[in-house]
Structure 1
Amino acid sequence: MIDRRLHVLKTLAEHGTVTAAAAALHLTPSAVSQQLRLLGRDLGVELLRPEGRRVRLTPAAHIALRHADALRLQWEAARAELAQQGAGPRGVLRLCGVSSALATLAAPAVARLRTAHPLVEPLLVEEESGECYRLLLAEEADVALVLPGPDAPPVTDPRFEQTPLLTDHQDLLVPECHRLARPEGVPLGAAAEEAWIVKARDNDTHPLVLAACAAAGFTPRVVHQVKEWYAVSALVAEGLGICLVPRIVPLPRHAVTRVPVTGAPAPVRQLLTAVRRGSAEHPLVRTGLEALREAASAHAPGA
């Protein structure tokens, strides 16, 4: 019901160039330019104005974007209200998120959903947080489990409702016989001279590690770029480096030790739920969010 070309215009406004917007949308730059030309023609206004090798949004484009946010909100609210006329939640519920959140939170939430709501068909997709927001806007996902970071929109973004779900502490992961393998914990600064394992690209964990280490007064010396936790744990067990590991992440039986990080600020990551604004009261979405909150409560302090 909402012209998808408005989403293309919004993406261009966020990323600044046609090339960057095309990459974010998984389109070609020519396809982005053509869609916006056609949208301007249909609206009877000029949306873009060349400015050197870039383009600038016109005042008409900003008016269109302001109304697009209102239209999307109204449409989501209408769909939610219409769905509430049914007998209960039913249909496909698409959840996306980072792997650790899917394993620890989405998996038990989906198990509960299948028992309590047999007419709900959950579908899980693993993606990094930036891609999860794109999936929400493309209506390829209904609920996202995300981490705030450089690729995430601000909480004030009118397209999303972002709600804190869980504060997840991070521990040092070191070999069993490592000098830092102390059950009482160590300050993060004690690991300043260690070799680190973390993948830089397409990895929500990387900016969290950099921020935590910077707060502790050092920049980590990254020697291996590995992302998947089983592989990271195997490398740590062999003495190839250390890492920060979220406390909710289940680890294999490698010869490794989790070490609490003492002192302040404690390295934590905030897990959020994100949905399209206006959709939270849709029976499917509401049921999914309730199941995720119940799963997260098992990991709350004192649980």
Structure 2
Amino acid sequence: MIDLRRLHVLRAVAHYGTVTAAARALHFTPSAASQQIRQLARDLDVVLLEPQGRGVRLTPAAESLLTHADAIEARWDQAERDLRADHDAPAGLLRVTGFPVAISVLLAPMAARLGERHPRLSVRIAEAGVPQSFDLLFEGAADLAVVESTPHNPPLSDTRFDQRPLLDDPFDLVVPDGHPLAGAERVGLAEAAREQWIAPVPESPCRPHVMAACGAAGFSPDVVHHALDWNVTAHLVAHGLGVALIPRLARLAADLPITRVRCAGDLHRKLLTCTRGGGHARPAVEAALRELRELAPTAVA
């Protein structure tokens, strides 16, 4: 009989990449985590980890085992949901994560609606970036996340997670009031090729979208300022320090002397909902997803 706790440690090593990182996430010492994996290897009479440089890598036997481990984890989660589910109405605790814009425009109103419609359901929201949201889902510390689609997300074929499209969030070109492009109904990005630009910081999930959009328009932007928060970007634009691409979901200060101009073409980022594998079937998550689907079309109007 396989000890599921030991299997979970192996899954964590595969997810985080190292025994030390997995141990930290599981609140183990590295030696205790290693001991769990060694015992699992003895139970199965196979080698699960082998040295690679200063670290370790999973053996083919471990990779094969993980395919079954993910399925076992999903079935176990489903069994717990079946035992605890209140099929009459969503109830209990729903833990949700998202990045700042998603919380402001989608998750906060979602939580308010759920509170009105399902008084036995308690929603807890935590701000988290994309990688952290997937970690929280994997650890069982979150039930639902709204994330941006990035090249670094787990592939859609990864059965540990259920990722589903929520909405396409268009980018607008934001310029100071009085700028030559401010009066345009729609602008081709190439028209801003000679402008100074304000871009997201390098670690922002939106930076690749901005740089790729400019590249597709035939130019590399002259980035003179970087910002993480969209309202910081908007203030820089308002002071005439450059132009920027800002997602339409971002709610900017209303008193700023700036103009949002719609872009020609299809410039957008994709937002996804994500649960653990099979987690969307939980009544509380189902209710939250319904609210998000109702909110999404008006959020980017």
Structure 1 and Structure 2 fold alike (TM over 0.5) = yes
Residues 68-120 of structure 1 show CA distances to partners (whole Å, capped at 9, x for unaligned) of 11111101221232233454211221111111111111121111101001111
Residue 126 of structure 1: CA displacement? 1.4
% same residue = 38
Residue 168 of structure 1: CA displacement? 1.3
Partner of 2:256: 254
Higher mean C-alpha deviation, range 42-51 or range 121-130: 42-51
2:252 partner SS: coil
Partner of 1:104: 105
Q: Distance in 1 between matches of 2:151 and 2:30?
A: 24
| Aligned AA (1:256) | I
Partner of 1:35: 33
2:114 partner SS: helix
Distance change (3 Å), C-alpha of 1:2 and 1:219: farther
Q: Distance in 2 between matches of 1:232 and 1:23?
A: 34
2:80 is equivalent to residue 76 of structure 1: no
Distance change (3 Å), C-alpha of 1:201 and 1:22: farther
Distance change (3 Å), C-alpha of 1:119 and 1:99: same
Higher mean C-alpha deviation, range 179-188 or range 111-120: 179-188
Q: Is the 8 A contact 2:197 2:225 kept in 1?
A: yes
Partner of 1:56: 57
Residue 24 of structure 1: CA displacement? 8.2
2:183 is equivalent to residue 196 of structure 1: no
Distance change (3 Å), C-alpha of 1:256 and 1:24: farther
Q: Is the 8 A contact 1:95 1:123 kept in 2?
A: yes
Q: Distance in 1 between matches of 2:220 and 2:112?
A: 41
Higher mean C-alpha deviation, range 129-138 or range 57-66: 57-66
Q: Is the 8 A contact 1:8 1:36 kept in 2?
A: no
Distance change (3 Å), C-alpha of 1:142 and 1:254: same
Partner of 1:273: 273
2:194 partner SS: coil
Q: Is the 8 A contact 2:174 2:237 kept in 1?
A: yes
Residues 123-176 of structure 1 show CA distances to partners (whole Å, capped at 9, x for unaligned) of 111121121111111111111101111321111111111111111111011111
Partner of 1:242: 243
Q: Is the 8 A contact 1:95 1:142 kept in 2?
A: yes
Q: Is the 8 A contact 1:36 1:47 kept in 2?
A: no
Q: Is the 8 A contact 2:95 2:144 kept in 1?
A: yes
Q: Distance in 1 between matches of 2:160 and 2:243?
A: 38
Higher mean C-alpha deviation, range 192-201 or range 172-181: 192-201
Q: Is the 8 A contact 1:83 1:282 kept in 2?
A: no
Partner of 1:282: 282
Q: Distance in 1 between matches of 2:23 and 2:183?
A: 47
| Aligned AA (1:8) | A
Distance change (3 Å), C-alpha of 1:193 and 1:277: same
Q: Is the 8 A contact 2:95 2:124 kept in 1?
A: yes
Residue-pair matches, total? 292
What TM-score do you get using the length of structure 2 for normalisation? 0.88
| Aligned AA (1:7) | R
Q: Is the 8 A contact 1:128 1:203 kept in 2?
A: no
Q: Is the 8 A contact 2:13 2:21 kept in 1?
A: no
Partner of 2:146: 145
1:217 partner SS: coil
What TM-score do you get using the length of structure 1 for normalisation? 0.88
Partner of 1:120: 121
2:119 partner SS: coil
Which structure 2 residues correspond to residues 174-193 of structure 1 after superposition, within 5 A? 174-193=175-194
Q: Distance in 1 between matches of 2:23 and 2:230?
A: 29
Gaps of 5+ in 2: none
Residue 201 of structure 1: CA displacement? 4.1
Residue 27 of structure 1: CA displacement? 5.8
| Aligned AA (1:254) | L
2:223 is equivalent to residue 222 of structure 1: yes
1:260 partner SS: strand
Q: Distance in 2 between matches of 1:246 and 1:179?
A: 21
Measured on the aligned residues, the alpha-carbon RMSD in Å equals 2.4
Superposed structure 1 runs of 4+ greater than 6 Å apart = none
| Aligned AA (1:249) | A
Gaps of 5+ in 1: none
Q: Distance in 2 between matches of 1:95 and 1:154?
A: 21
